[in-house]
Structure 1
Amino acid sequence: MLSLLHFFCLFLLWGTGVGTPDTSLPYMVYLDGNQMVCLHWGFDDLQGDIEFQLTVNTTGWVGFGLSPNGNMIAADIVIGGMGPSEPYFTDRHGKGKFMPLVDDKQSYTLLSMDEKNGQTIMRFQRPIDTCDDQDFLIKLIYAYGITDTIEYHKTRRGTKEVNLLNYMPKTFPPNSKYLMATMDKITIPSVHTYYHCKVMKFSKPSRKQHIYRIEPVIEHIDMVHHLLLYNCPSFVNTTYDNMCYVFMFNAGIPFGDDDRDIYFKLEIHYNNPHLETGRTDSSGLKLYYTDQLRQHDVGVLMTGIISSHMPYMIPPKAQEFHTYGMGDPIPDLNVFVVLLHTHLAGRKVRVAQYRDGKQIDFLAVDEHYNFEMQRFKNVGKIKTIKQNDEIAVECTYDTMDRTNVTKMGLATTDEMCLAFIAYYPAINCSCFFCFFSITDVEVSNMLIILTKSPKSVTFTTFSVRIFS
């Protein structure tokens, strides 16, 4: 069998940032593609506060907000800057396509305002408990002006989806190297859905290494749907080219620990709905590795519904259609990130953990699933799966805009229900990419249940409950 080295759909990359502040703000992301707007942040669970530092390449006003949909309407916004004699700063809210209104209650606190080297640096905080209690990916919005007169921003605005409360600090060893696992100018055919596979050979290193960072190399973001990279088993010894995330400080994906050359298989799903011709692509992944081994080897498990093993149809005109996949018991694992995956009809995904027949936790929850924003999400504190625990993946679909049934399959217009779970230490099995067995199907009231034994599942607002 092949083992899954990494599953990639667009995820947030870690960078060094501009004007890196003190360690109380350990997280950073650029909010725009030109790296003009940089956000650092940190939070204190005990104090219940989250602190931001917004750095913008302007000497005019700057604005920052939390939005449920990426628009100004219903967004919580702050606007500030350094005036001629003193700073200005107000907490506002968006009501429409006009100047955000000043809030009666100012829930943000300005900590500092500075203007230097052509940049405005605004540091402020707010209570965490005013954030969404489901801790989903928040759309951050920004805007800025070229003067201190607060007026329409024109094109100086944007939005980015970020999970503010589920970050982990990253560390990078000084002597790292990298491998390039990419396609080589393959021609994308004029078909809607195309999978291309490339098996590539890399020379064996002198000793065991750890891959600690995986960076996307995307040439055609409009066509690359997702990438899969597999670490091939020992019997693979030939190349092939035809159809077919940054880890925490103490864990890495191992390779080079046996006496053979290394073969990776790169699989890319290209989505070409307009049947374009003549497009070539060299997308892939850049794998950073080091011989300074970390404490644990990382593994990746997949659970959910394997569409090729258990095909079924989702009916049209269903506002909430639920499916469940139950996973076999597995050895003790420490879970640190999870990637949830459906296609266009997916609206919610939950991964529940059971012990002795009772739900004890969620490994991951996304109540606002966005097909365009799939990524590995940190689970916060490490979650432990014990021997004989069971894992259930629940997917909720909305097919109100469809007139035909939706089948489970590989195309973007088909559906999937999967969770990729990254954990340590890697278990002693033949692959990183392990399938949980699924044998029985029950259909009832817009609900399809896939289980390993004759059980049924019921869903409530707060939990997924299983009963015999």
Structure 2
Amino acid sequence: MQPWLPLFCLFLCWPSGAKAQDESELPFMEYLDPGRLVTLKWGFDESKGNITFTLSINTTGWVSFGFSPNGGMRGSDIVIGGVGPSGPYFTDRHATGNSLPTVDKEQSYTLLSLKEADGQTTMSFRRSIQSCDNEDFNITPEPIKLIYAYGITDDIKYHSTRRGTKEVNLLKYMPESTLPGTSYINFTMDNIEPLIDNVDHVHHILLYGCPPFVTEDYVGPCFSGNIGDHCFRVTAAWGVGAGAFELPENAGIPIGGENSEKFYRLEIHYNNPAKIEGRTDSSGLRMYYTAQLRPHNVGVLTTGVMIKDKISYKIPPNIKQFQAYGMCNTSLFSNLINSSVPDLQAFAVLLHTHLAGRRVRAGLFRNGEQVDFLGFDENYNFEIQQMMNLGKLKTIKPGDDIVVECTYNTMNRTTFTEMGLSTTDEMCLAFILYYPAIDINSCWSHPDTTGLNVTTLLDNNDLIEYENSLKDASQIQVVNNVNSQYALNHKGVMRNIGETPTYSCRNGNAPPSSNNRAARTPSMSWLVILAGRALLLLLLK
């Protein structure tokens, strides 16, 4: 653990709003691969309803770019082009599986230019932001999983390792920024190295603030009875596939200070199912700090299904769809806070499950009725976990309920899956970023499973009854504060989350239509590493 004395404020700033009316027609740019061989530039015109892309890849073969519901081929909207012996070629396609994408009946993309020079192929094209073509993927103001692939010849065939995925919010793009004059401190397992050394073994990284009574450091396994097991105030995190996330320009995460945390716990979860011996790791987070304090302190609220030993919450095997629920009743906050509880302004969320997760939704309820979503991912992908900007502030008032719903697929499993810490266990969590920060770490629940201990495989009728029993059971709610104190409610009632919002298409003057793939709203995920680097900035007071 790391002792900390001065007061800092942790932040990543975003610009007040990315605009399509920049001087350049294509003001935005991202490298889609770690080696910076694949470059995407884009710009959009909301009044005309179109978006323009330029894709450049270091190859003289075919190139492709697309939008994917989950980061894979199936269900993707793809364009493929190149410059062959007979000249340029370009087609709008869609993928039904891990095979050559099928040419669309309607070619909805317009090729603007396609050239090959100096070992690089550059393809510029335009399309509607929201298309009414059933075979196209609508672009929404959420992070979208972009995919690419390319070949070394113009023979369009299997790409092998020449492919990749990156999650980008095209319409609300927030470029990574570093303030001039900032310094940084590294936190790693051996004295903070800002790289993910072993992406195949590192499952996730968490940096927790510790309560005041933690005054000694230690190094050892997590949750083994050490004093650091009391450190649960999330300060920063990294999850598989995470990119950089930037906080609002008026807010930052406070760290340290006379009346705040002095020690921090760096927790790294590893996944080594093949039990490979002799591997070492120095992964961690890099923390930037500056003396310019922000007006609002940011907090991170952990919600969803409580993870704790001896809680029986089993997900049956060989099931295509099974739903689990966790909840938070914010009225319990006042039991642990001396002052009045303010309205909380949520601005970002990370939705988190493990390998069996397929969909995650977080609903906000007031007076028993759902008033909003705090986030949803209809095509959850464990390998792409990125914190999502909500696009606007969403107010959580005292007494509101937060419900987290997770949908799992266990068709490839033969035994029950437990809720737990292992990669092969499951979780159902939403990490909500908000301000002003209050002294609450977590607010989560688990059903009272007395009499529901299932040990045998279930038929379809029993499965439905079991799933409903978990949801309808009394929900045991637990709220923890920064001093490791807790409040309990044994009679929580689970609310029903409504239908996920969809986006309607519009072609020219045609009336809106919902018969398209826009409803496959893209993913939302977790905090702070881009290409293996944690980019966090701290405000020094």
* TM beyond 0.5: yes
Name the residue aligned to 1:159: 164
Q: Which amino acid aligns with 1:419?
A: A
Instruction: Name the aligned partner's letter for residue 351 of structure 2.
Output: L
Correspondence 1:308-347 to 2 at 5 A: 308=308, 310-329=311-330, 331-347=342-358
CA distance in 1, matches of 2:268, 2:99: 43
Determine the structure 2 residue equivalent to 1:169: 174
CA displacement at 1:379 relative to structure 2? 1.9
Say if 2:422 is the partner of 1:414.
no
Name the CA shift for 1:352/1:46 in 2 (closer, same or farther; >3 Å).
farther
Alignment gaps of 5+ in structure 1? 7-20, 186-199, 201-214, 464-468
By how many angstroms is 1:294 displaced? 3.0
For each residue in 1:4-34, what CA deviation from the matched residue of structure 2 results, as whole angstroms up to 9, or x when unmatched? x99xxxxxxxxxxxxxx96665554322232
Q: Is 2:312–2:449's contact at 8 Å kept on the other side of the alignment?
A: no
Find the counterpart in structure 2 of residue 370 from structure 1: 381
Deviation string 1:35-72 (CA, Å, 9 cap, x unpaired) is: 10012334455543333221222455532223456566
State the alpha-carbon separation in 1 of the partners of residues 495 and 259 from structure 2: 47
TM-score (norm 2): 0.66
Q: In the alignment, is residue 297 of structure 1 matched against residue 297 of structure 2?
A: yes
Q: Where does residue 493 of structure 2 map in the other structure?
A: 455
Aligned positions of 1:93-112 closer than 5 A: 93-94=94-95, 102-112=103-113
Deviation at 1:102, TM superposition (A): 4.9
Distance in 2 between the 1:318 and 1:95 partners?
23
Q: How far apart in 2 are the matches of 1:73 and 1:260?
A: 48
Mapped contact 1:305–1:325 kept (Cα < 8 A): yes
Per the TM alignment, residue 224 of structure 1 is displaced from its structure 2 partner at its CA by 1.3
The CA deviation at 1:119 is 3.8
Whole-Å separation in 1 of the counterparts to 2:60 and 2:83: 8
Q: Relative to structure 1, is the Cα distance of residues 23 and 394 closer, same or farther in structure 2, using a 3 angstrom cutoff?
A: farther
Alpha-carbon distance in 1 for matches of 2:401, 2:140: 23
Matched with 1:180 is 186
State the identity %. 50
Q: Specify which structure has the higher proportion of helix.
A: 2
* Alignment correspondent of 2:537: none
Structure 1 residues 408 and 288: CA distance shift in structure 2, 3 A: same
| Structure number with higher relative contact order (C-alpha < 8 Å, ≥ 6 residues apart) | 2
- Equivalent position SS for 2:65: strand
* Residue type of the alignment partner of 1:110: L
1:388 deviates by 2.5
Contact kept in structure 1, 2:150 and 2:159, CA below 8 Å: no
User: What is aligned with 1:195?
Assistant: none
Residues 85/39 of structure 1: CA separation in 2 closer, same or farther (3 Å cut) = same
With over 3 angstroms needed to count, the CA separation of the structure-2 counterparts of 1:451 and 1:396, relative to structure 1, is farther
1:166–1:377 Cα contact (<8 Å) kept: no
SS in 2 for 1:410: coil
Give how far 1:304 is off.
0.6
Say if 1:97 and 1:253 are closer, same or farther in 2 by CA, change over 3 A: closer
Aligned to 2:37: 36
Distance 1:327 1:98 in 2: 44
RMSD of aligned C-alpha atoms? Answer: 3.8
User: What is the match of residue 238 of structure 1?
Assistant: 216
**Structure with greater strand share of residues:** 1
- The 3 A distance-change label for structure 1 pair 457 and 28 is same
SS in 2 for 1:40: strand
Report the Cα offset of residue 101 of structure 1: 5.6
**Aligned match of 1:387 in 391, 395, 398?**
398
Distance 1:350 1:95 in 2: 26
Range with greater deviation from structure 2 (245-254 or 391-400): 245-254
In structure 2, the residue matched to 1:264 is 264
In the alignment, is the contact (CA less than 8 A) between 2:343 and 2:396 conserved in 1?
A: yes
Q: Which runs of 5+ in 2 are unaligned?
A: 3-7, 10-21, 132-136, 223-243, 334-341, 453-464, 478-490, 502-541
TM superposition shift of 1:265: 0.9
Q: Which residue of 1 aligns with 2:359?
A: 348
Structure 1: distance between partners of 2:102 and 2:499: 34
Q: Could you tell which deviates more after superposition, 168-177 or 62-71?
A: 62-71
Q: Work out whether residues 255 and 261 of structure 2, in 8 Å CA contact, stay in contact via their aligned partners in 1.
A: no
Instruction: Tell me how far apart the structure 1 counterparts of residues 166 and 443 of structure 2 sit (CA, whole Å).
Output: 30
Structure-2 change in CA distance of 1:260 and 1:50 (3 Å): same
